[in-house]
Amino acid sequence: MLLAKPAWLLAIAVWVFAAKTGAAGDIDFEQHVAKILVRHCAGCHNGSDPKGGLDLTRHATALAGGESQLSAIAPKDLDNSYLLKRIRSGEMPPPGKGQEVTAAELAMLETWIQAGAAWPRDRVLSPFDLTSETRAGRDWWSLQKPQRPTVPTVEHAEQVRTPIDAFVLSKLEQHGLEPAEEADRATYIRRATFDLLGLPPSRQEIEAFANDTASDAYDRLIDRLLASPRYGERWARHWLDVVRFAESNGYETNTARANAWPYRDWVIRALNDDLPYPQFIIAQLAGDQLGVDAATGYLVGGAHDIVGSPDIELTLQQRMNDLDDMVSTTSTAFLGLTVGCAKCHDHKFDPIAQRDYYALQAIFAGVQHGEREVRAPETEKIRNQREELRNQLAAVERRAQAAWLQYQPLAQVGNSSSSPGRPAVNALLNVDRFSPTRARFVRFTILATNASEPCLDELEVFTADNPPRNLALASLGAKATASSVFAGGGSPVHQIEHLNDGRYGNGRSWISAEAGGGWVQLELLEPATIDRVVWARDREGTFRDRIPTRYKIEISEAGDQWRLVAGGDDRKAFDPRAKSPELFSTEALPSDVAEQAQHDRSEAEMLRTKLEQISPQKAYAGNFMQPEPTHVLYRGEPLQRRDQVAPGAIAAVSPPLAQAADAPEAERRAALAKWLGDQRNPLTARVMANRIWHYHFGQGLVKTPSDFGFNGGRPSHPELLDWLATEFMAQGWRPKTLHRQIMLSSTYRQASRYQPAAAAKDAGGQLLWRFRPRRLEAEAIRDAVLWASGTLDLSMGGPGYDVFEPNSNYVKVYAPKQTFGPAEWRRMVYQNKPRMRQDAIFGEFDCPDSSQTTARRNVSTTALQALNLMNGSLMMQQAELFAARLEREAGTDGESQVRHAFWLAFGRAPDGDELDSARRLIAKQGLLVFCRALYNANEFLYLN
């Protein structure tokens, strides 16, 4: 404990401190004052201080003092700063409550107080501010801004091609290791081409590079590869892993998202354009404000449960799951922090408070899953054209419906016939005609359904006029009421106001809260003579559940006495397999009406075709609304609300980000994006630089690319990581600059030769004494198979291809296709990517299922991988096509076929033994077996 010190000693301490920190006004609170207060005094608050109960965690309480009523800190007044008196007397910190205060630290506190004791607004000190043996604090390495390190001097300077080499060689020299020799040019170009493009180089490209004697041969090669449109396709797949992109909803229904693909295409374009990383970030978080709508597909790229529930807690939990996905994905993808672990309590290992989690949740609180139109210059013109066509189509359908409805059979109330005559109810359209009757109230009561709570798409009440008019519309003054409304957590989809809003489809319908029953009632603006009620479960024909199978329709003029006019008793039994009625059916129509119906059918088909042809592109990119206030949830329970929180970020990560509690929704996301791309943020550049390194070497400088916290890996080369991060920012945050630095280094150009002595010291190759061989990912393997057979379709963009049989089940069934054609011969990045279901062949090669983010793929070796490559239907087909290509391009000569095959599969010529063995295999088993063997060879599957 520091006792009274001679004045000269304190003067020296002050001089030393001033020399290190500069003038008193330049004292950094976080770097100096906060650390001392936490280290020595944070344990002394809330009464644990036996003399005074000082609370030094907050500015206000530190100024106010404790039970002694003396200010712990009196700005510019050393004599009345009680904290200094306690430290000098040796009473603080109390025994066992903190470390000893040194003379230099006391001098620093005095200087800080004398300068005015500046304390950042809303900063609360915590014992967790400092790193300990069990957790990270604010002083954790990754939370400090990266500083540009001095490039080290190394013994073998001739091996340094880029600064990267100096850092790697320095570490190797420290461990008594030497780098491997340089890889030959054929190996290098194959490595570089697969790395950047995910495809093999051609023989012509290999030979041209091998024979290029110019000093800039390597530079021009890398520049050519980076300029290829295949680069975006290759590296987009890496990013799509990180952000859990998939094209289905997940959960038990796992239905497809037909328009998720525009986000994938945007990522490809952005990477090909070398979009600066801060712009890449802001487009994905707030692209709707920048005219890049598809980019916000990132926000809603995760799983989404579409199954509603009457249980409010379950519905709220579904919403919390959506928001947790956005918070967790954003924090791991851009920051390398597991913020999701702070949902129920303060993070156990990193300086992330539960309040930080909900501050981030408040930023995403207005984001809703769903599709929206992608804006483009021609969008407004297309929208106007579509509106005109829709109006024309509606007019035709109204005319056809009026004629069709007029000839529907009358309901037979009280009919007890054993042979009901009216058609069975269906999901698409049902008509109940009765004798013209004057009424103002219409009640529809459901007595049974085919499943769950009943749902009505639209309830229409028509006059007996010619033409008939629908008086049930809310726009005409009709009012709808119901026995109950599906709880659904306040879902905007299934509300009573949708019963008569004139808009068709499940997306605007009413659902009862009663299993198998319920009623709705319409009050017309005034009494009228009506003769029919038209209703449906889903006019768009998508859903066939919740259909009222037994019901009754009653009418009343005053609302007190009711008359039964129609029901389901005179209908045939419900048949779930029966076809829905056709609006333009000519059955039972008089000849003149039938002729007009046929004309209407033709006109409607023509209008629908035009609508389909000029449809504006939609993207599953989310919808946005001003959110309700966000609260901290006790233990993460949706119904256990505590304090309200304003939108913000992680307090321990600079720079600070705080917004007003009622900040506009769009501003919230834009502010977070700018915070992430701020050069003062210590994590963003480091995390991205490490990801790029990881995909080039199979392992990052930090082994855990999405966890830079306490439980993540420590950097093997911390100075190199900081150099890469600062270089990345200095070069405009453009990823291609880092690719170029890495791939032109001697470190990347090393051979992959195994060295037992080096492996004994560094078995994992973390010190980079060679280029570590690794197996290609599933996508690169599949693309290379198609490339070798000559069938690879390099067309870019647009909807993907499917490797599962089509079906329209409510719960999607993924049955793998057994036959494949040109439609499935595109690059695998364009393969539709459902959650929880894998490509039957290549899914075994450790493809993530996108249920969660994937920072690095596992690399397993299993029997199924070998069996799939040898016997899978696509592999058998491609082997046949590979053999056909050899016969077509190399003729019938066995040696020519083998040589050509080796160049296509391995990027080299066969040696003598390989040539002899291959010719014998072809003679004995045929060319097809030879091609299957090449596809299964390690050299085909691995990158050296």
- Express each pLDDT in 761-775 by its tens digit: 999 999 999 999 999
3-state secondary structure of 587: coil
pLDDT of amino acid 405: 72
Nearest partner of 442 among 416, 462, 427, judged by Cα: 462
pLDDT of amino acid 16: 42
User: CA distances (Å), 184 to each of 158, 657, 749, 910, in order?
Assistant: 18, 50, 9, 16
Q: Categorize the per-residue pLDDT at 47 as very low, low, confident or very high, splitting at 50, 70 and 90.
A: very low
- Name the more confident of 536 and 583: 536
3-state secondary structure of 717: coil
Average pLDDT, the chain: 89
Distance separating the N- and C-terminal Cα atoms of the chain: 60
Rounded distance between C-alpha atoms, residue 617 and residue 609, angstroms: 16
- Express each pLDDT in 340-369 by its tens digit: 999 999 999 999 999 999 999 999 999 999
Indicate whether 13 pLDDT > 90: no
Rounded distance between C-alpha atoms, residue 431 and residue 286, angstroms: 47
- Express each pLDDT in 748-760 by its tens digit: 999 999 999 999 9
Compute the half-sphere exposure of residue 892: CA atoms within 13 Å on the CB side of its CA.
0
Rounded distance between C-alpha atoms, residue 481 and residue 345, angstroms: 44
Percent of residues, the chain, with pLDDT higher than 70: 92
- Express each pLDDT in 678-736 by its tens digit: 999 999 999 999 999 999 999 999 999 999 999 999 999 999 999 999 999 999 999 99
Nearest partner of 186 among 214, 217, 216, 207, judged by Cα: 207
Which helix (DSSP H) or strand (DSSP E) does residue 631 occupy? Answer: strand 630-633
Tell me the mean pLDDT in the region 272-284: 98
- Express each pLDDT in 101-131 by its tens digit: 888 888 888 999 898 888 887 777 776 778 8
Q: Strand locations in 450-539, DSSP E?
A: 455-456, 459-463, 479-482, 510-511, 518-535
pLDDT of amino acid 4: 40
pLDDT of amino acid 3: 36
- Express each pLDDT in 837-880 by its tens digit: 999 999 999 999 888 899 999 999 999 999 999 999 999 999 99
Domain segments of the chain: what residues? Answer: 7-134, 138-182+683-771, 276-373+623-675, 408-587, 874-943
Pairing of strands 367-368, 518-535: unpaired
Rounded distance between C-alpha atoms, residue 401 and residue 393, angstroms: 12
3-state secondary structure of 252: coil
- Express each pLDDT in 621-644 by its tens digit: 999 999 999 999 999 999 999 999
- Name the more confident of 308 and 47: 308
- Express each pLDDT in 472-489 by its tens digit: 999 999 999 999 998 754
Q: Categorize the per-residue pLDDT at 416 as very low, low, confident or very high, splitting at 50, 70 and 90.
A: low
Nearest partner of 614 among 886, 869, 390, 341, judged by Cα: 390
> Which residues lie below 8 Å from residue 6, measured CB to CB, with a gap of 6+?
none
DSSP classification of residue 125: -
Tell me the mean pLDDT in the region 386-400: 82
Tell me the mean pLDDT in the region 899-909: 97
pLDDT of amino acid 876: 96
pTM, two decimal places: 0.75
Q: Strand locations in 364-478, DSSP E?
A: 367-368, 372-373, 430-449, 455-456, 459-463
Indicate whether 412 pLDDT > 90: no
Tell me the mean pLDDT in the region 391-412: 79
Tell me the mean pLDDT in the region 530-534: 93
Indicate whether 93 pLDDT > 80: no
pLDDT of amino acid 24: 42
Instruction: Decide if 501 contacts 390 (C-beta within 8 A).
Output: no
Indicate whether 453 pLDDT > 80: yes
Looking at 3.30.1360.120, 1.10.3130.20, 1.20.1430.10, 3.10.20.30, the CATH number of the domain 874-943 comes to 1.10.3130.20
User: CA distances (Å), 375 to each of 390, 513, 612, in order?
Assistant: 20, 38, 18
pLDDT of amino acid 704: 97
Indicate whether 69 pLDDT > 80: no
Q: Categorize the per-residue pLDDT at 7 as very low, low, confident or very high, splitting at 50, 70 and 90.
A: very low
Tell me the mean pLDDT in the region 426-435: 90
pLDDT of amino acid 512: 94
pLDDT of amino acid 582: 66
Rounded distance between C-alpha atoms, residue 355 and residue 421, angstroms: 65
pLDDT of amino acid 12: 40
Give Cα 499 to chain centroid, integer Å: 35
Instruction: Decide if 903 contacts 203 (C-beta within 8 A).
Output: yes
Rounded distance between C-alpha atoms, residue 469 and residue 218, angstroms: 76
- Express each pLDDT in 282-296 by its tens digit: 999 999 999 999 999
Indicate whether 22 pLDDT > 50: no
Residue whose token pair is 């939108």: 647
pLDDT of amino acid 48: 38
As to burial, measured by CB atoms within 10 angstroms (0-12 exposed, 13-18 middle, 19+ buried), residue 895 is middle
Q: Categorize the per-residue pLDDT at 98 as very low, low, confident or very high, splitting at 50, 70 and 90.
A: low
